Amino acid sequence: MYCDKVMNHFANPGNVGEIPDADAIEIVENPICGNVMYIYQGQE
């Protein structure tokens, strides 16, 4: 279940955080199985 790739992302999370003035926010959530993702998009 926990392959090296998954564990690597888990131990060294990248691109994590919030973009306060994001142009778009997409929310994917399913608390029943614990999947929650907020995806922020911003253009420079």
Applying CB under 8 A, the residues found at the interface with another protein are: 1-2, 7, 10-11, 13, 16, 27, 29-34, 36-38
The answer to whether the beta carbons of residues 9 and 16 sit under 8 Å apart is no
Closest CA to 25 of 16, 11, 34, 38: 38
The nearer residue to another protein, 24 or 36, going by C-beta atoms, is 36
In the bound complex, what is the minimum distance in angstroms from residue 30's beta carbon to another protein? 4
In the bound complex, what is the minimum distance in angstroms from residue 44's beta carbon to another protein? 23
Residues in the chain: 44
